Amino acid sequence: MSLSLQAAEHPRLHQLPQTNQLKALMTIIRDKNTTRGDFVFYSDRVIRLLVEEGLNYLPVVHKEVITPMGIPFEGVSFEGRICGVSIMRAGESMEQGLRDVCTSVRIGKVLIQRDERTAQPKLYYSKLPKDIANRWVLLLDPMLATGGSAMKCIEVLMEAGVREERILFVNLICAPEGALKMLERFPKLQIITAEIDESMDANKFILPGLGDFGDRYFGTE
Ligand code: URA
């Protein structure tokens, strides 16, 4: 199935500005001839942009400071506390990008895999910050294909008390089908993505995509 999805049509799907810089970075990581070192370096740059964009959806409160010129400045400061949750294994590649921007941020991990018997995503492991119910969560997974693992992970977060409207799903590339399914199933979820691709193949790999992100990032091809 091939579905068209324009970020502008979906108020909760936020695509990074399609600048020439982003397009050049994405071209490098999509290129099958890119070396592993470059794949990691340029993926990290896109991840940094995504994390910075994700922070734009956090609430702020008014804050006044005095500048070195002795003049009051009416600004803002972040209100809520955050944490990251990475969906193992590929999502772990995004943890450093979050740490680079948010010092000493807490990061939980979730491992979800397809149950061979039921063909459904199954939770194998989760370790979340104890006070996660009071936090905003940046949920990290670079490739959103069918959305099966991500949706299962959101269920796990909500069972732990996280409010749906406080979940920001951050990813590099999404397939329209998976993104639409997630937005329908979770009507308060926000998705932050770099690019929206065309479709998926029979093995649920994103097309044109970039292949297996985890294998290319961690060198396990
Ligand atoms: N995961 C990947 O790494 N690549 C895809 O295309 C889909 C899921």
pLDDT over 60 at 78, yes or no: yes
pLDDT over 80 at 4, yes or no: no
What average pLDDT score do residues 99-127 get?
93
Give the ligand 1 atom nearest the CA of 206: 6
Q: Which of 201, 165, 170 is nearest to 186 (CA)?
A: 165
- pTM greater than 0.80: yes
Quote the pLDDT of residue 107. 98
| Token output for 117 | 């018997």
Active site residue 44: no
Other beta carbons within 10 Å of 43: 24
pLDDT band at 2 (very low <50, low <70, confident <90, very high): low
Give the ligand 1 atom nearest the CA of 207: 6
Tell me: the pLDDT tens digits for 49-74?
A: 999 999 999 999 999 999 999 999 99
pLDDT band at 117 (very low <50, low <70, confident <90, very high): confident
When the pLDDT of each residue in the chain is averaged and rounded to a whole number, the result is 96
Other beta carbons within 10 Å of 78: 14
- N-to-C CA span, the chain: 28
Q: Which residues does a 6 A CB cutoff place in the pocket of ligand 1?
A: 90, 143, 145, 205-206, 209, 212-214
Centroid of ligand 1 to alpha carbon of 141 (angstroms)? 10
Residue having the nearest C-alpha atom to atom 7 of ligand 1: 205
Question: Going by C-beta distance under 8 Å and a sequence separation of 6 or more, which residues neighbour residue 98?
Answer: 51, 84, 105, 107, 138, 140
pLDDT over 60 at 138, yes or no: yes
The residue among 80 and 195 whose pLDDT is bigger is 195
Q: Catalytic: which of 27, 35, 114, 131?
A: 114
Active site residue 215: yes
**DSSP character string of 121-139:** EEEEEEE--TTGGGEEEEE
- ipTM for this model: 0.96
- Where residue 147 falls (left for φ over 0; alpha for ψ -120 to 50; beta otherwise) is left
